[in-house]
Structure 1
């Protein structure tokens, strides 16, 4: 009598997010795509970050399991703080260093589990700030996959800096330039446009010494030990950087699977968006002509100084363009006195304090422009909505993204040279605003609509991102 064969277990993938919302959410979106294609997942988290996983766990019952570990202790991180939410950008190196301590407890967990229960771990997918997960994957006999919440160019530049140990130009001026000869097009950026993380690495004081080399080592692990890189991008936006493996990414394999975020409906289904908030703002936008409103938001990390906020407010008033200005909780007190009342009285401007339904707002027909810090998640949301951008980069990969959007994709116009605390000339910015909402912005808006159509095609069956994702899943299946 024949014995029935045991059911074949799905390949098991370990997922390691970085505890910053702009990093964790796109990685969880990507993990959801893996789960939807039949892979089993375990996601590393900490007690305070576990609630962020709740929607993800509910969407994939039985396919996803959290691995909840104590957050590593650090004298530089206040007790109870387990994510970068509300922390200034200078905390990022501290978190990168602290999380390295998770390597041993994760490895201990992996070696103590029974593979017969839910299948052996065949791959480890980790945020690029969690480079320690790449040697961990090697220890487990699994493939190490780096997930980049940035685009290809935005990831290649910092990896190049840490790989080549680029030093500050001898001129010691912010306008001094740094070249990237191994990246297609050989881009050149001013020193002030180099990521704050790398400038901290080069210029930090003695108090940073303990974390400096571990931070660099995290980037080197990605380049030297990974199986490949997965990017939340699409070929229509970054095709030239995906044509062949890049030296600055260790010549590793690359998959472009974006945009990975689900296409939220008009009410918004992501990041806590509510139908009530979306409907309220939507009702205010309804009377305006198509593409006439500028949406202004600089993300959750950028806090405007009073001088910068005053310059922006003056430019908005002088331009006479309709606008929605979202000020974060930390910036709400810097809006000039009387500005909000005057804008409301004129019926052409509204200030939203705290959270706003960004996805639903960008998809409103009246919104034609997004003044943005060029964080990659905001870039992709705007691109998917077909909304042209006004670039105002602050830090991280944002200067790189801004150049890509303006010079290569042609879906953006510069609004401000950028950098924390850098205020634009109000008159010049007012002219830019008036021009883009008028006839001078027509071609850029048209190109933004084209990119939106390309983004929609990319994630549909037969599209480039769909094909890359299916190919990656099949290769993960073959690893077993």
Structure 2
């Protein structure tokens, strides 16, 4: 790749949640290595996630812009958080106008569609960053644009057919985004959220954390819907090595060395990695069912569990896990808190991944070439599972459902045991896709898309849009 940045200044604005911040910081790292100057807008709470980049690049290349969102009511939902973020419109505008070398473009998360109006006022291009894939983006765009409704309000299994999306995916009502299902037409907050979302289609360009061999049909669909080709698939965005992955997303609950040493003692493809993302919390009944399934399967496992800063797990699950850990001994490794997931998945001993199908986890699993068992619980996870299981055939549907769902531990035990079997039939297809993911960034489609995107950014400093 050529170095085309020439110091061009870019404002990067992630939505303030780890699953959104981390991949956008992976993109930021690529911008920095190509000679761009980057300001990253973060809340003080999430500044630690940015520290690895701040500590490895000069302050002349990267600076944080610390702005706090206004206080929100306790347990407020996504719409309130997005609305609160828009209160930063004028502080950001003031920062731009007072900066001696203001950014030439804004790259912001898809939840921050309101920044497109900010970019317009400043006369700058806004680029939408999707930390999820083009399939999920197509589904959400279809929902918010066309507003299909449940004609049987008391039937959560009512089917919604999205005929405007390639392959015409069908979802029972309960699998659609919770925010969408709660939409109230005319409500100011909901209408703000919808309009902010639709503003993504009006933005100058779109970046997907994906790659063409995984989602070409949906990438082409987005280009057709937008009527232009400023759509780039630049994924999978991952740290280049295990050293970088050890601090990606924050300080781990256990040392990288400790996890790797435990894995080094296990046979190739013998370990199942279990994780439900940075926000997923199982109920006590779900925890009990999964404990029974793992124990009956006899597999070696690492289980990363969401915990607070002191390593405490919510509700009764903590006591259940403590007892389970004592019973399984060296066959299991339970991590209470943040885990070095990329490094774990890349280890030769890990053969399977029980995942909630968050997009970061999907890409990390694909890039590592591990078999995947899907347990989607909400958000875009049902769409991601549909892609993996039904459309490209690289994963097995283990179960699906949120708080009210409890898996059949006997059936789940069978699937866990089969997932590390050498005869697992989906492994060949998975390894092909793994190679495609790795090749995409070594001269393949993603590296070419990134090259084109960065060249266009570099040109912004040399011409007036």
TM-score surpassing 0.5? yes
Distance 1:355 1:138 in 2: 38
Unmatched tracts of structure 2, length 5 or more: 308-312
Alignment of 1:430-445 (within 5 A): 430-441=413-424, 443-445=425-427
What corresponds to 1:100 in structure 2? 86
Q: Per-residue deviation at 1:244? A: 4.5
Distance 1:270 1:288 in 2: 25
User: 2:16·2:43 contact (CA, 8 Å) conserved in 1?
Assistant: no
Q: Per-residue deviation at 1:450? A: 2.2
Give the 3 Å change call, closer, same or farther, for CA 13–338 of structure 1 in structure 2: closer
What corresponds to 1:342 in structure 2? 327
Of the candidates 356, 371, 388, which is equivalent to residue 388 of structure 1? 371
Q: Per-residue deviation at 1:275? A: 12
Distance 1:20 1:14 in 2: 18
What corresponds to 1:80 in structure 2? none
User: 1:176·1:190 contact (CA, 8 Å) conserved in 2?
Assistant: yes
What corresponds to 1:325 in structure 2? 303
Of the candidates 65, 68, 71, which is equivalent to residue 67 of structure 1? 65
DSSP-derived class of the 1:245 partner = helix
User: 2:373·2:397 contact (CA, 8 Å) conserved in 1?
Assistant: yes
> C-alpha deviations, 1:91-123, integer Å up to 9, x for none?
322211100111122112212333xxx3x5321
What corresponds to 2:451 in structure 1? 470
Alignment of 1:109-124 (within 5 A): 109-114=95-100, 118=101, 121-124=103-106
User: 2:72·2:81 contact (CA, 8 Å) conserved in 1?
Assistant: no
Give the 3 Å change call, closer, same or farther, for CA 353–46 of structure 1 in structure 2: closer
What corresponds to 2:29 in structure 1? 32
User: 1:16·1:133 contact (CA, 8 Å) conserved in 2?
Assistant: no
Q: Per-residue deviation at 1:285? A: 2.7
Matched, 1:132 2:114: yes
What corresponds to 1:149 in structure 2? 131
User: 2:130·2:209 contact (CA, 8 Å) conserved in 1?
Assistant: yes
Q: Per-residue deviation at 1:197? A: 2.2
Q: Per-residue deviation at 1:323? A: 1.6
What corresponds to 2:409 in structure 1? 426
Q: TM-score, normalised by structure 1?
A: 0.87
Q: Per-residue deviation at 1:200? A: 3.0
User: 1:304·1:421 contact (CA, 8 Å) conserved in 2?
Assistant: no
What corresponds to 2:168 in structure 1? 186
User: 2:69·2:84 contact (CA, 8 Å) conserved in 1?
Assistant: yes
What corresponds to 1:313 in structure 2? 291
> C-alpha deviations, 1:109-153, integer Å up to 9, x for none?
212333xxx3x5321111001111111111111111100000111
What corresponds to 1:280 in structure 2? 258
Matched, 1:228 2:205: yes
Give the 3 Å change call, closer, same or farther, for CA 34–48 of structure 1 in structure 2: same
What corresponds to 2:310 in structure 1? none
Once superposed, which parts of structure 1, at least 4 consecutive aligned residues long, lie more than 4 Å away? Answer: 246-252, 273-276
DSSP-derived class of the 2:242 partner = coil
Q: Mean alpha-carbon deviation: is it higher for 305-314 or for 322-331?
A: 322-331
Q: Mean alpha-carbon deviation: is it higher for 380-389 or for 350-359?
A: 350-359
Distance 1:20 1:237 in 2: 25
Give the 3 Å change call, closer, same or farther, for CA 51–439 of structure 1 in structure 2: closer
User: 1:368·1:388 contact (CA, 8 Å) conserved in 2?
Assistant: yes
Alignment: residue pair count: 448
User: 2:134·2:218 contact (CA, 8 Å) conserved in 1?
Assistant: yes
> C-alpha deviations, 1:49-82, integer Å up to 9, x for none?
333322222333212222223x2323425xxxxx
Give the 3 Å change call, closer, same or farther, for CA 9–417 of structure 1 in structure 2: closer
Q: Per-residue deviation at 1:331? A: 4.0
Q: Mean alpha-carbon deviation: is it higher for 244-253 or for 13-22?
A: 244-253
Of the candidates 245, 249, 270, which is equivalent to residue 292 of structure 1? 270
> C-alpha deviations, 1:383-410, integer Å up to 9, x for none?
1111111100111111100111112232
Q: Per-residue deviation at 1:251? A: 6.2
Q: Per-residue deviation at 1:420? A: 2.9
Distance 1:31 1:124 in 2: 12
Q: Per-residue deviation at 1:235? A: 1.0
Distance 2:225 2:385 in 1: 20
Distance 1:275 1:212 in 2: 37
Q: Mean alpha-carbon deviation: is it higher for 401-410 or for 251-260?
A: 251-260
Give the 3 Å change call, closer, same or farther, for CA 96–375 of structure 1 in structure 2: same
DSSP-derived class of the 1:351 partner = strand
Question: C-alpha root-mean-square deviation of aligned residues, in Å?
Answer: 2.5
Give the 3 Å change call, closer, same or farther, for CA 54–210 of structure 1 in structure 2: same
Unmatched tracts of structure 1, length 5 or more: 1-7, 78-87
Q: Per-residue deviation at 1:416? A: 0.8
What corresponds to 2:381 in structure 1? 398
User: 1:245·1:251 contact (CA, 8 Å) conserved in 2?
Assistant: no
